[in-house]
Amino acid sequence: MASKLEALEHWVNEVAALTRPARIHWCDGSDAEYQALVQQMLQTGTLIELNQQTHPGCYLHRSNPSDVARVEHLTFVCHPDEQDAGPNNHWMAPAEAHAKIDALFDGCMVGRTMYVIPYCMGPIDSPLARCGVEITDSPYVVANMRIMTRMGAAAQARIEREGTFIKGLHSTGELDPERRFIMHFPAELSIKSYGSGYGGNALLGKKCHALRIASHQARSEGWLAEHMLIVGIENPQGETHYIAAAFPSACGKTNLSMLIPPEGYLRDGWKVWTIGDDICWMRPGADGRLYAINPEAGFFGVAPGTSGSTNHNALTSISHDTIFTNVAVTADNQPWWEGLPGTPAIDWQGRPFDPANGPAAHPNSRFTVSAKQCPTWSEMAEAAQGVPISAIVFGGRRPSLLPLVMEARDWTHGVLMGAAMGSETTAAATGTVGVLRRDSMAMKPFCGYHYGDYFAHWLSFDQPGAKLPKVFHVNWFRKGANGKFLWPGFGDNLRVLEWMINRVEDRVDGVETPIGILPGDGELKVDGLRLDPAQLDALLDVDNAGWQAELAAIGEYLQTFVPHLPERLREEQQRVARALDAADDAQPRQEATAH
């Protein structure tokens, strides 16, 4: 190995001295290596072979029942100065964090193989991509990282050329919840994760590198690392607009990234292209526009709720060569979860299915699959320069107040929309219904530094010569008086995206309101929908008094980030509040838009 790899070799030797593995394996990312790992895991019971007639190349992994999700309370962002972590993160002093977790790593790989995984987040030849190396004792992690990243020899060659990489050290340890930590050291560009085998805690290229560390890296290097899908919308004329969209969990991100157009749109020749379903890295190009890549190469998707009716493209993607985690199986050994036809025989813990034990598949059960298996995958996902972004969309699950769609009047207003976004809790999630949880830019668990500084970083892109995307906010989840959703959602969300594209191209005027620009009369295509005019009015209604209360609440939320809060954002919140106060309550929106 050449001299540029000395830093990597030195680190690997250091880790080996600490963890004392029986052997060290440098991963090359080849098919042969993957097959050998699968065979080894089948022998140890780490993987279970699924029905190879119906699901060729598919396997099931069952986690320890105490290890099935991200653990925010054990996830730390260890900046040297506590101020830099912000109220949005748990903080621990770096020296204390290293000492605490290194004591757990001491001798933890005795008798195990230590895997060295060189990987690239993003197309291997992209200047926007960044490399990392994960050291792990989990063959399950190696197999998943091979699907989720560009892993192996090509990534190692790039690391050798550049001499820089994110260091990620992981061990499953004893899978003891009392001995579990996920530590991030942004200033050192390193991650240490102990005691979990679950995706978000163990696949260090994903949330740990591509969001928490990358968001910090992006701030210092002048780009954005965001929790966003990237989707291409091609119109009948063959022109494609790319949209980046951020939603908190349970708001249909994967569905939107793989959207199937409604029948009329399909007939007219509209197409949807999937670039990414979860993470988006954006930076300004030479022409002043924002260009985006998906740093991931695969989907680590939530299985329950994925069905032929909700997301046919996802279901097609996972019909072969997929690793399933914590799903149930049918009597003939096919993967099963709530939302699929058929009957579960064995639950996610390997027990005969009994409804008294809860759902057959774990609610957070997952599939790991190559993005290239998606029917709507676009070759532009491999474009080295990324794709130009026409629109940025924020959204949340709000049963009232927030209209179906609104456009920010400018970039600063758009940043406020993103900062204010959130979802209301449902009865399924907590005992309290209708509690609003703010989740700015859907980055609350993932922003690797102080939210106030993060908002300032967003604002900094508004430079002379910048051709920034238009910013929108959507709400697919508004309900009528009967408690039912007013908007059909799913494929029909393309109607809203079409309005956005028309706004980007100045084809429609929209209607100015104090909270943003809304669709004007007849601008939103609703032909073929069973949607009466009263429903559309309700979807686009602006309740002045409700919004005045909302703006006051947004102001209180922003105050929690003082003194790091940018003054410009506070002024923007006050500008919107004043516009609402000045709006004549006696003139409802219906009159203004001549409904």
Q: What is the CATH number of the domain that holds 283?
A: 3.90.228.20
Q: Which residues are annotated as a binding site for GTP?
A: 250-255, 366, 397, 490-493
> Measured between alpha carbons, how far is 453 from 438 in angstroms, rounded to an integer?
17
Query: Is the pTM for the entire model greater than 0.85?
Result: yes
CATH number at residue 201: 3.40.449.10
Position 53 in a domain? no
Tokens representing 320 are 């072969």
Position 19 in a domain? yes
Strand partners of residue 405: 474
Residue whose C-alpha is closest to residue 414's, from 500, 320, 332, 495: 500
Same domain, 13 and 118: yes
For the chain of 595 residues, list the mean pLDDT of each consecutive stretch of 10: 77 98 98 98 98 98 93 95 98 98 98 98 98 98 98 97 96 96 98 95 97 98 98 98 93 93 97 98 98 98 93 97 98 97 98 98 96 98 98 97 98 98 69 82 97 98 97 97 95 98 98 98 95 96 96 98 98 98 64 49
Residue 436 phi/psi, 5-degree rounding, is -85, 125
The whole-number pLDDT of residue 486 equals 98
Query: Which residues are marked as active site?
Result: 251
The one-letter amino acid at 430:
T
Q: Do 441 and 459 form a contact (C-beta atoms < 8 A)?
A: no
The whole-number pLDDT of residue 591 equals 52
Q: Do 293 and 123 form a contact (C-beta atoms < 8 A)?
A: yes
Same domain, 31 and 169: yes
Q: How many CA atoms lie within 13 A of 160 on its CB side?
A: 10
The last residue of a domain, from among 186, 221, 256: 221
Same domain, 485 and 369: no
Q: What's the sign of the alpha-carbon dihedral 18, 24, 29, 35?
A: negative
Q: Which residues are annotated as a binding site for Mn(2+)?
A: 207, 227, 278
> Measured between alpha carbons, how far is 321 from 55 in angstroms, rounded to an integer?
8
The last residue of a domain, from among 221, 242, 275: 221
Q: What's the sign of the alpha-carbon dihedral 458, 459, 465, 468?
A: positive
Residue whose C-alpha is closest to residue 186's, from 170, 209, 162, 203: 209
Question: Which residues have CB under 8 Å from 538's CB, separation 6+?
Answer: 478, 480, 486
End-to-end CA distance of the chain, in Å?
71
Same domain, 145 and 23: yes
Same domain, 151 and 264: no
Q: What domain range is 493 assigned to?
A: 229-294+381-592
Q: How many domains does the chain have?
A: 3
The last residue of a domain, from among 160, 193, 221: 221
Q: How many residues does the chain have?
A: 595
